[in-house]
Structure 1
Amino acid sequence: MLNTVAWFEVATDDPQGAEKFYGELFGWSFAADAESAKGGTDYRLIGYPGAEGFRGGLFATGGAFPGHAVFTVAVADVAATCERAERAGGEVVFKLLDNPTGPDFGYIRDISGNLFGVFAPRSER
């Protein structure tokens, strides 16, 4: 469903440490995302006990982005959503459109400075 929280992401420059931490703490499992790897990105899918499939991702930042843990909202159009966020007083921190190895996505700060993500599922592009 669009305009709902559909994913979560943990970003870190220590992906092995994060896997160990969250694996031990919550019993989460991790699997490399082959599509992201094709584009040179270390992105790992997160599964957790009782859930079907993957519900989140672990982004190995390589120090290029600050660490964060965010919720991500599925939207029909990332560019349009980013424009609406700016008109509403938010700040677009990053956006990737026409992503060849995954969904279009962006990071936005709300009016209080909180970071969250938006993405367009491939079926919506």
Structure 2
Amino acid sequence: MPFRENAPSGAPVWFDLSSSDPERMRDFYAAVFGWTYEVTGEEFDNYVMFRHRGHDVAGMMGKPAPEMPDAWNIYLSSDDVNETVRRAEKAGGSVILQPMDVGTIGSMAFVQDTSGAFLGVWQPKTHRGTQIWGEAGAPYWVEMHATDYPAATSFYRDVFDWQIQVTGDSDDFRYCLQIVDGEQLAGIMDATFLPPGVPANWHFYLGCEDVDATLAAVEKHGGTVNMPPEETPFGRLAGVADPGGAGFMLTSLSDWKSRS
């Protein structure tokens, strides 16, 4: 789906970077992925809008506290952010940021799910979220690594009304998909393989025409490679971080979303 006007309720809808050096990160993502950007001004605390082929793809803001690490935030869509937060608390999650209006463009909140992962909630108004998907330089897949897989699957089913399709249920590989109208939109992986102290987390994949060339560009412009490229049944994958340390994944443009 190269272009999407509206995200289904409960689906990944937006990505933004919390950065210690927004000016440097603007240049990094422009150089590596060809993104353009616009600084919105003081009304929105100089929030940066990244665009890909003229369409909104992601955002960026300065870190709210210096002790926080640079990180990408992932938001799920909500028809009613107040109700979603209420349901998150009822399901055993925690509210990190109470619902708030962002001008006339939407309403947001931050929660922590029952497996420990942090997540944004976005109720769109005039800002409908990420518009370009599934191509080079755009989000290709969104995935959660759950240290408590049963708790995570129950949370997203109860809070966001996920229709879940299990694609792996063995000790070696447990994985499920969020399905909306037959389309795969996000996944949850049983991540008990994570080292002690590493929390459950959401992350996303950006599509690449050439993963190895993109890795070279990441390093040339000050980023790092966290996971060397490898061939998998789902394409060529790699993990990287920008110069501020915010991590994300890269994937080749293969039809790897079918995990059944």
Aligned amino acid, residue 43 of structure 2:
K
C-alpha displacement of 1:33: 2.4
Residues of 2 paired with 1:46 and 1:98: CA distance?
21
Q: Which of the pair is proportionally richer in helix?
A: 1
Provide the rounded CA distance (Å) in 1 between the counterparts of 2:76 and 2:17.
15
Q: Alignment partner of 2:87: what SS? A: helix
Distance 1:99 1:65, change over 3 A: farther
Native 8 Å contact 1:8 1:70 kept in 2 = yes
1:12-91 matches, within 5 Å, as: 12-34=19-41, 37-39=42-44, 41-49=45-53, 52-61=54-63, 63=65, 66=68, 67-91=70-94
Partner secondary structure for residue 116 of structure 1: strand
The one-letter code of the counterpart of 1:38 is E
CA drift of 1:95 comes to 2.6
User: Structure 1 or 2: larger strand share?
Assistant: 2
Alignment of 1:120 onto 2:115: no
Rg larger in structure? 2
> In 1, are the aligned partners of 2:10 and 2:77 still within 8 Å (CA)?
yes
TM normalised by structure 1 equals 0.79
Decide whether the 8 Å contact of 1:11 with 1:60 is kept in 2.
Answer: yes
Asked if 1:9 is matched to 2:11, the reply is: no
Cα 1:76–1:103 shift into 2, 3 Å: same
In structure 2, relative to structure 1, the CA distance for the partners of 1:19 and 1:99 (3 Å cut) is: closer
Contact 1:79 1:97 in 2 (8 A): no
Identical pairs, percent: 25
Q: Does residue 1:109 correspond to 2:112, yes or no?
A: yes
Distance in 2 (alpha carbons) for counterparts of 1:59 and 1:120: 19
Deviation at 1:63, TM superposition (A): 3.1
Conserved? CA contact 1:92–1:109, under 8 Å: yes
Q: Is the 8 A contact 1:103 1:120 kept in 2?
A: yes
Mark the CA change 1:80 to 1:64 in structure 2 (over 3 Å): closer, same or farther: farther
**1:14 Cα deviation from its structure 2 partner:** 1.0
- The size of the alignment, in residue pairs, is 118
The one-letter code sitting in structure 1 at the alignment partner of 2:36 is: S
Please state how far the C-alpha of 1:113 moved relative to its aligned partner. Answer: 1.8
Going from structure 1 to structure 2, the CA distance change for 1:100 and 1:82 (only over 3 Å counts) comes to same
- Distance verdict in 2 for CA 1:58–1:65, change over 3 Å: farther
Gapped regions of structure 1 (runs ≥ 5): none
Q: 1:92 aligns with which of 74, 92, 95?
A: 95
What is the letter of the counterpart of residue 94 of structure 1?
A: L
Mapped to 2, the partners of 1:101 and 1:68 lie a distance apart of: 26
The question of whether the paired residues in 1 share the 8 Å contact of 2:13 and 2:122 is answered with: no
TM-score, normalised via structure 2 length: 0.41
For 1:22 and 1:8, locate their aligned partners in 2 and report how far apart those are by CA, in whole Å. Answer: 14
Post-superposition offset of 1:42:
1.8
